[in-house]
Amino acid sequence: MKKNILYILLLIVFTGSAGLIILQYQNKEKKMEAIVYTMLPRKGLLAKTDEWILTQKNVALLQRKIKANPNDTKSIVALANYFILEGRATGNYQYYDMAAMKLVTAALKIDANNFEALTLKSLIYLSQHHFSDGLATALQARNIIPYNAFVQGILVDGNVEMGNYDSALNCAQKMMDIRPDMRSYARASYLREIFGDYTGAVDAMKLAIDAGAPGDEATEWSRVQLGHLYENTGDLKSAEMNYQLALNERPGYMYALAGMARLALAAKDYNKAIDFYQQATKDASSNAFMQEIANVYYLSGQKEKAAKLTKNLIDELNKNATAANSDESIGHYADKELAYAYLSAGNKEKALEHALMEYNRRPKNIDVNETLAWMYFENNEPGKALPYLQEAMKTNSKNPTLLCRAGLIFAKNGDTVKANKYLQDAVQNNPNIDETLKTAALQQIKSFVSFSK
């Protein structure tokens, strides 16, 4: 009898708890639905462009259409697309991804098989580093319309992030077959870089730029990517030319200014580098360059400023990560970024912890494996780094940062032949990479030469 009473009481408690959870979820849903997102005012040069005037006009028109007809999925999806583009233009991904996700969720409640809404939902997931969700949603969209270049491009991105490189190549070829345009050329360039073909990557990115309209954000993004390819191959004059062209076509473009900052850093002109980075963040709401600015402060001897900025970055990334853990539909997973931020702050244990968390989400991705290998190396466990390093190098990437790290890890493991080879390959063209890493690589090469004598 007592047992029966106990079971009944437990059932009541369980039912009550479940009801409370459901009620809290419903209240959260209602609060989310009550939030009205709109375009935030732009700052500086971004606020003075014809593009911004046209964007505001089109957004206002779409908002009127949706107000008149809340089931107008075409306008809902179009407005979501504007929010996504604005996030990229200003760097304020957190706000605009949230706004766009609300809209695509509304569109999918009306029509669960809305192809355009599914593709945009996938894009938002990828933007917020919910890579497995992004890939799954893109596959769902492909099942509706298989022969679509846009969804094939999203599948390229999702498969790359999850480490499915053969699938990414297959999707890229399908994308190119359907529509050889700026998006497909840019993805072809990225894949060629991943597989160690820098010459082919440069050629494909040039085609992407030629296929776009000068001044458009996507075109100048491609031009900045071309500049970065030149940085990795040591052609800093060509890199500067492309960054300057991007700034001429799109004044104040933050990613081009960041490129100019990296070139100033390569010349050890720290004040100029800081100035370029500050210009890059002045007109945009973005934390993208916090770590880079902190690194310049550190190299220039301003260690207190570097430490403060790194702490601010860690706090911001942790806040976004908490949002991701509490809401599966949105919030930026940031463990890879946190690993490097904690490493800069000198907390190697925390750096390794976050690298492992990122690895558990996507164990086949080469960048994630490189990160984990490096964190083991920094924690003085070079033996544990080796299997992850080998996975990071499975595509034959020629990225100079990866090659430097590989050389240093092999050196710590006593494999001087491989160490010397990778270090020599990394620095042979004098690429523009992290100054501290390059110095360590050159010192290691020097030690090999001294030992051989």
- pLDDT tens-digit readout, 202-249: 999 999 999 999 999 999 999 999 999 999 999 999 999 999 999 999
Domain boundary (116, 139, 166) is at 166
Residues 123 and 200 in one domain: no
Residues found in the chain: 453
pLDDT more than 90, % of the chain = 81
Domain boundary (233, 267, 285) is at 285
Residue 231 CA to its chain's centroid (Å): 19
Give the pLDDT of residue 233. Answer: 97
Q: Are 214 and 236 in contact (CB under 8 A)?
A: no
pLDDT-based confidence at residue 171 (cuts at 50, 70, 90): very high
Residue 223 CA to its chain's centroid (Å): 17
Residues 54 and 151 in one domain: yes
Domain boundary (285, 320, 352) is at 285
Domain limits at 92? 48-166
Residue 107 lies in a domain: yes
Give the pLDDT of residue 21. Answer: 47
Cα 260 to Cα 275: distance, rounded to the nearest angstrom: 10
Residue 41 has what DSSP assignment? Answer: P
36-45, 95-104, 271-280 — which is least confidently predicted?
A: 36-45
Residue 443 lies in a domain: no
Residues 118 and 197 in one domain: no
In this structure, the number of other CB atoms found within 10 A of the CB of residue 50 comes to 8
Residue 233 lies in a domain: yes
Q: What is the mean pLDDT of residues 265-291?
A: 88
Q: DSSP strand E in 39-143: where?
A: none
Report DSSP letters for 332-348, one per residue: ---HHHHHHHHHHTT-H
Give the pLDDT of residue 8. Answer: 65
Residues 146 and 250 in one domain: no
Question: CA distances (Å), 397 to each of 129, 198, 282, 384, 404, in order?
Answer: 22, 9, 35, 21, 12
Collapsed DSSP state (helix, strand, coil) of residue 178 = helix
Q: What is the mean pLDDT of residues 332-338?
A: 92
Residues 276 and 219 in one domain: yes
Give me Rg for the CA atoms of the chain: 24
Residues 250 and 187 in one domain: yes
Give the pLDDT of residue 282. Answer: 83
Q: Are 162 and 131 in contact (CB under 8 A)?
A: yes
Q: What is the CATH number of the domain that holds 208?
A: 1.25.40.10
Residue 184 lies in a domain: yes
CA-based nearest residue to 435, from 316, 337, 295 = 295
Residue 415 lies in a domain: no
Give the pLDDT of residue 4. Answer: 63
Q: What is the mean pLDDT of residues 81-106?
A: 94
Collapsed DSSP state (helix, strand, coil) of residue 135 = helix
- Is residue 65's pLDDT more than 70? yes
Residues 191 and 280 in one domain: yes
Residues 142 and 106 in one domain: yes
Residues 52 and 156 in one domain: yes
The pLDDT mean for the chain works out to 91
Residue 453 lies in a domain: no
44-48, 59-63, 204-208, 357-361 — which is least confidently predicted?
A: 44-48
Give the pLDDT of residue 91. Answer: 87
| Overall number of domains in the chain | 2
Residue 326 CA to its chain's centroid (Å): 21
Which residues make Cβ contacts (< 8 Å) with residue 19, sequence separation at least 6? none
Residue 334 lies in a domain: no
pLDDT-based confidence at residue 275 (cuts at 50, 70, 90): very high
Cα 66 to Cα 99: distance, rounded to the nearest angstrom: 15
Residues 150 and 123 in one domain: yes
Residues 213 and 156 in one domain: no
Residues 205 and 162 in one domain: no
Which residues make Cβ contacts (< 8 Å) with residue 17, sequence separation at least 6? none
Cα 267 to Cα 21: distance, rounded to the nearest angstrom: 57
Collapsed DSSP state (helix, strand, coil) of residue 447 = helix
Q: What tens digit of pLDDT does each residue of 1-39 get?
A: 555 665 665 566 555 554 554 444 444 444 445 467 999
Tokens of 391: 């996975």
Residue 86 lies in a domain: yes
Q: What tens digit of pLDDT does each residue of 360-417 get?
A: 999 999 999 999 999 999 999 999 999 999 999 999 999 999 999 999 999 999 999 9
Helix or strand holding residue 116 (H, E) = helix 115-127
